[in-house]
Chains A and B, each alone.
Chain A
Amino acid sequence: MASKARPGAGALEGLALGLLLWRVQLQMFINQTIRSRNAGRIAGTVAGAAVILLAWSWEGFITWLGVEASHRMQLHVDSVHLLSLAFLAYTGVLVFSSLVFSLNALLLNPDLELLLAAPRSVESVLASRMVVQVLRLFLLSLLFTAPALLLLGVVNQTPLIPLAFAVLFLLYPVFVVVIISLMSLLLVRIIPVGRGREVLTLFGIALAIGINLANFLLNPALRDPGFARHPGVAPSLPDVPGASSAWLPSGWAGRSAAAILSGDWVTAGQWLLLLLAASAAVFAAGSVLNGRLYMAGWIQAVPPRRRHAAARVRRSKGALPLLSPVLAAVVIKDWRMRTRDLAQLVRFIMPVVFLFIIFGLRFPRELGAVRSLGDGPPAAMIGLIPAWILLFSLSISLGLSAVSLEGKSIWVYVASPNSTMRFLQAKCWSTALPTASLVALAALAAEIIIRPGWLWAVTAVVLAVAEAIAVTSLMVGIGAVFARFDWTDARRMMHPVGVFIGMGLFSIISSASALLLVISIALAAVTRFPLFTTWLAAMTIAVGGAIAVAALGILFGNQHLRGLEVG
């Protein structure tokens, strides 16, 4: 219930509870990694730590190069404006991350009920969420900047630089987190129950497209529709004139950061104190307001939405030509699951969106370049590039997640009188059908536009479809070996090792196929064999190889699933 204690008590209690929650999260992280007693997880943790160390070394090296260059070239930059701009850009990251976190915490994480059932005020529970988020962002900031800051501290012989920046990183996110938390509480009033994940996904797509388009429209270097840049226009980030305003937190942080780097500790301290006072006030007020808003009620009490009668009429008959009822049942069920869940649907749509961004906006210049190659296999092969990007994205996202898609409902299949091989067959169909169809459409469209000669166009499309089926089936097999059924968040469906192996094999198959096709052209030129003969031979070997690898993948997947126990 809402606390009737003195104002600020909720914020203080929230601070303590937040630290407690943070400790628990840290504990869970340690339990799941180094204390998991699971060789794979421990190896993953060690590998992750090694990657971070490598990235840190690289960052340290680049920073050192930058410092050396600045000493030699005597660059004159407005460091206050530059750093304020950096903090303003960081605000965008904070907004996105905080919104996702807040909505997740309010809509998806079941532990909110647990916390609210505890003898804690609502204000303190909501404040604790903000504390956890601030701490997460603080650590993330340090993760990305620690080597550079340490090196700057050493080079400038001022060991306080990393410490002062750490304080800045801890204080700066507070106002964003509080405002976003309040906004999220208002937002969840209009989000229907059970739609949290979809709304978050939709928000993510909107933001990704928005950032891309804004960059495309605002950045002078990207305004040109072709590959070439306008002469004399260097690539740059869009400037925001008000970023260093003394009335904005980005201006305070920028001034403080610039003063820290120049060793002006009085100025740095003044701006840091201002940031501290404002953050504390915003946090205290935000905690109270959050509690009031929460107690005012939200949409979760509204009964779930009923489907319209029209939806009943449009029902599929549950059959597919050429497929047995079991295979068809899984294919149709998967299709329904994917298309009814926005997060899943995005796996279809995002590749198309990015294809549009990558190729669509530069279309006229690219088309001219490819058409200049004339008729023949090179133009036909280049026409397959969009289809290949689509295949990469779809085969990884759909194929690797096909088996894990069942999640905890896997018992339905395991308890049924069907073999695991049949299950994998069904999964191959359910992923290969949409993937091959979309890849075929993309390839066909590209070949129609490029017009490399109908024979080459047809063979290119056939190659794309055959490889799409093989590669997607391979991904299903890999997904079965690394299947996860205990996920609650769809983003955790795919095992990182599976993704790594899948991407690696995709690259190998693609490179080998491309190499074979190039060899076929060279062979025809050297031996005077008809080009179409060598081309067909290369295609057959490429597709045959891909099918062989896919069959192996399916066999491994089947072997793994046969030992599956649903405990």
Chain B
Amino acid sequence: MGRLGTVLSTRLLTKRYGSLTAVEDLDLEVGAGELFGFLGPNGAGKTTTIKMLVGLLRPTSGNAKVAGIDIAAEPEKAKALIGYVPDAATLYDKLSAREFLEFSGDLYHVERKLRDRRIAALLKLFDLQERGDDFLSGYSRGMRQKVSLAAALLHDPQVLFLDEPTVGLDPQSARQMKDILQDFCREGKTVFFSTHILEIAERMCTRLAIINHGRLVAMGSLQDLRHMVGQDGQSLEQIFLELTGSREDDVSAVLRGLES
């Protein structure tokens, strides 16, 4: 748990699409200053959970609170404290990065002078000053991801949600993003991110949660998770495979089946 108390919590958070249960009875607690990794196989319910936490989806039941504010009951108040970077951010192609950031700043009620100062600083931080006035349609996926993160940081949120933030980034940009997120957490703010890249999660996260078939299967520090599976010294990848039931043997068996 973070040094400064709980900033994000969910209680029996559930999302159903008809007969399909995407997320079921999810209980999470994330503290201030934490860099929290949210892991799970494809289709486990990571994106659905994040979308509920940022107010894009309504939970079927249960609740989620950001800084004590119920996101479903007081969405606007809660959203003011949240920054969100989706996995494949759809941006306005016919705006420049600067214009998009200006738009985002205004949406989040950032005072104009402060907004412009922050935009200049963020464009510099993400090495986008040169291309800041180019239309976003000409940006690569990695650059769009940077713009999306810059927009999420612009209003100085308390909690930053990132869905697969490192997808599409070159190693240098991935490293840069990692540094930025760690600096963000050092200021007492919280990062909640989902990723498939376990190596990044292992190195960056203070605590982790693993979700499978919509249910939370483990939560804690890496050391906690090791204790949970009963084998110290295991890598996060091994723990993940152990907890989500994906075995290398299974993969080999399937591949052998394809050959025959």
Complex Cα distance A407/B95, Å?
Answer: 14
CA distance A326 to B108 in the complex (A): 8
Q: Which of A307, A315, A414 is close to B55, meaning CB atoms less than 8 Å apart? A: A414
| Chain B residue nearest in CB terms to A416 | B107
Does A328 count as interface, using CB distance less than 8 angstroms? Answer: yes
User: Which residues of the other chain, A, contact B134 by a CB distance below 8 angstroms?
Assistant: 304, 306-307
* Cα-based distance from A319 to B115 in the complex (angstroms): 13
CB neighbours of B84 from chain A (8 A): 411, 415
Tell me the total A-B contact number using a CB cutoff of 8 A.
100
Contact code string A296-321 (vs B, CB < 8 Å = 1, else 0): 00000000111100011001001100
> Is the pair B112, A415 in contact by a Cβ cutoff of 8 Å?
no
Asked whether any CB of chain A lies closer than 8 Å to the CB of B106, the reply is yes
In chain A, residues 424-475, which have Cβ atoms closer than 8 Å to a Cβ of chain B? none
- How far apart sit A413 and B107, CA to CA, in the bound complex (Å)? 7
Q: Does B99 contact A326, Cβ atoms closer than 8 Å?
A: no
| CB–CB B95/A336 < 8 A | yes
A414: chain B residues within 8 A (beta carbon): 55-56
- Interface digits, B145-176 against A, CB 8 Å rule (1 contact, 0 not)? 00000010000000000000000000000000
Contacts of B57 in A (CB 8 A): 565-567
Interface pair A307/B135, CB less than 8 Å apart: yes
Q: Nearest residue in A to B137 (C-beta to C-beta)?
A: A194
Among residues 16 to 58 in chain B, which have CB atoms less than 8 Å away from a CB atom of chain A? 48, 51, 54-58
Residues of A within 8 A of B91 (CB): 409, 412
Contact, CB under 8 Å: A333 / B133: no
Q: Which residues of B contact A330 (CB under 8 A)?
A: 103
Rounded to whole angstroms, the CA-CA distance of A333 and B101 in the bound complex is: 11
Chain B residues 78-103 with CB under 8 Å of chain A are 78-80, 82, 84, 86, 90-96, 98-99, 102-103
Q: Is B5 an interface residue (CB 8 A)?
A: no
B227 in the interface (beta carbon within 8 A): no
When the two chains form the complex, which single residue of A311, A318, A337, A566 contacts B112, counting CB atoms closer than 8 Å? A318
Provide the residues of chain B in CB contact with A311, threshold 8 Å: 133
B92 touches A417 (CB 8 A): no
- Taking a contact as CB atoms under 8 Å apart, the answer to whether A318 and B102 are in contact is yes
* Minimal beta-carbon separation of A217 from chain B (angstroms): 37
User: Residue A333 contacts which of B51, B95, B135, B151 (CB distance < 8 angstroms)?
Assistant: B95
Decide yes or no whether B186 CB sits under 8 A from chain A: no
Q: B68 at the A/B interface (Cβ < 8 Å)?
A: no
Residues of B participating in the A interface, judged by any CB pair closer than 8 Å: 48, 51, 54-58, 75-80, 82, 84, 86, 90-96, 98-99, 102-109, 112, 133-135, 137-138, 151
Q: List 5 A-B contacts (CB under 8 A).
A: A326-B109, A415-B84, A419-B76, A565-B56, A567-B57
